[in-house]
Amino acid sequence: MLDWKDAEAPAAADIEELAREAIAGLPPEFAGPAAQVVLRVEDFASEEFLDELQIDDPLELTGLYDGIPMTEKSPSQPQHFPDTVWLFRRAILDEWASRGDVGLGALVAHVVVHEFAHHFGWSDEDIATIDTWWE
């Protein structure tokens, strides 16, 4: 049994390790393009991201894809910044603690897959048609 008196909250590096495991588990046709995306883990989303998405509470945003989806890229319009998947550690930990019914690895994997789906050109509505996570 875990000795909670000495337990520490998972660090950004722990969340990143779980995320990289989820990325490694993607089907081969997605793994190559996923390897081209920068993965960043921060405690909270920046004010810029929150303002852009009209989110007041930073604990409501667990992840974000920042880039141009593969379905919209054009060689004639080069991108000047790398596609990035952002994971927000404190929001992920808050959701994990409040849910209480899912392992941290499963939650991180879910957020990672959701954000990479955006990279591959899926909308939130597209993802919702096959992702029953929130039901």
Q: Sign of torsion, CA 46 51 57 62? A: negative
Q: Which two tokens stand for residue 72?
A: 């919209």
Q: What span, in angstroms and rounded, lies between the C-alpha atoms of 117 and 45?
A: 19
> Please, which residues have CB within 8 angstroms of residue 45's CB and are 6 or more apart in sequence?
55, 58, 61, 64, 86, 88, 91
| Residue 10: per-residue pLDDT | 95
Question: What pTM was estimated for this model as a whole?
Answer: 0.88
What CATH class has 12-66+79-130? alpha beta
Q: Say which range, 13-17, 28-32, 34-38, 44-48, has the weakest mean pLDDT.
A: 28-32
The per-residue pLDDT for 18 is 97
* 50, pLDDT greater than 70: yes
pLDDT tens sequence across 106-125: 999 999 999 999 998 888 78
Sign of the alpha-carbon torsion through 9, 113, 77, 28: positive
DSSP bridge pairs for 42:
88
The pLDDT of residue 91 is: 98
Reading the block at residue 113, the tokens are: 């897959």
Confidence of residue 135 (pLDDT cuts 50, 70, 90): low
The dihedral sign for the CA sequence 83, 21, 134, 103: negative
Least confident of 40-44, 49-53, 64-68, 80-84: 80-84
Predicted confidence at residue 122, as pLDDT, reads: 84
pLDDT of residue 92 exceeding 90, the answer is: yes
